[in-house]
Structure 1
């Protein structure tokens, strides 16, 4: 597969997943702000922007629900907004039409073209209209990719990008609550953001406890949005992309990073997850950044062509210089 097509599929997976998860986080944050009259709206809005890794507005004016929604969701000129992410996914799909299905392209194109109508409805009825639209379309795209794309190397790049982004965004969901007391009811927001509320209640028999929530979202083996599960999916797809046994070095760096992150979670004691949780999450987030850099260097940035003729010419020139000096 051409490196540019592989890179496009990888980033399509990342962009769609990030837009989906940002919509989930923003939806829960806005609902929390609107329902709890004791919340400091400006502080909460700035915390959401910071956790999502976006730049805060330059103005010092207090933020409200509408300015938060504008910055995270609607702003076409802000890098990293939901509209910007979907537009980037669409442009990558446009440049890689030969390796994506028609259904995938049509889904992204229709989603992008429908953002303006969704925004108008949201400005009239509330941000939930826009965020629900993004979540539904992202789910449709994931289903179409699974059903209409051959599960070959292209599909593996798409899943690799989605999984790396899912790890990062699940960590951000947990970071929104990492400083809260263990008995805070706000921990439930993490489950709602990840679409995990009902599944968690079935798994833990309705016991809503911070330790159980962190355990479920961090190291659960079966839930697809847990950090451990996403790391394992990324590791599996990356190992499938390796065409043979790799030597120790740059080729094995990405698998080494993913395997180390997975094993660091695999043998944790569940009841001690809250101890040093924020430091552990930030360390995993750094690993995601390193994995992205390693994947880019290994698969997408092809080494320049080596001209052996030029090398021989340089050697001959060097010998002439040495002989003239003698």
Structure 2
């Protein structure tokens, strides 16, 4: 009996020691081959395969120990596939928690207000670890893939910062941006003033894009919107330079000349009345709301003051005086 008692004590001691060692191990920082490691786990990977992938990525520990930790924790089946970044004081416990929570490494791309669709595409092509699935596709082909065949892409994508996982498709980012723009456009359309001359949400989107390009000072947006709204209401030419520039496309060299204002294109608001056929850029939320709810004024003109803001006038005489003061220095 004494022998059995001693043996039992030894076994219990070993179990306690092993448990203590295991507890110590799962809470100890693991050495990494480099300060930052990238780990990719494919869908359907077993717990043993995950342990091997972790070590293969540069985590300097035993894959067998990791595997048994995954199994004994009870969370082995909760590990999520994805792309992860491993760094800092990583322990077996924190590693498993990260994999179970699915804390994938995220990248971000910012699409800025006022950019054209072409510039949006260039931004996405430069984005870190974003798969360029739209590269080589025509704009028509892209809109087809987004479920919008025959729709012009200009203005249809909401400018914002979008996060994504490594290897995501640029088409997926565009789809999110398109859905976001539709939500914001629908919301702005519901808030439009009762006397708005705009007949459709697409007209609001087009006007918002012009406001976006014409605004130098954010606080001026409602007044700029008021000028264009007032002109639309009385059938006056919009005569806005950004639409002319957009219509020129690659021909624009940075200088807008008188002959450019006189050369007719579908977007030349000096030669054609009303709004152009499509937006000319991607408007942000503030521009959309300004188009829906312009300031209440009788202004029909504005000119840049040189400080980022604009001077607004109700009459041509007052406008000419403002031009002489702020543009000609008279």
Q: Do the two structures share a fold, i.e. TM-score over 0.5?
A: no
Larger radius of gyration: 2
Q: Relative CO higher for 1 or 2, CA cutoff 8 Å, sep ≥ 6?
A: 1
TM-score normalised to the size of structure 2?
A: 0.25
Please report the TM-score for the alignment, with normalisation by the length of structure 1. Answer: 0.25
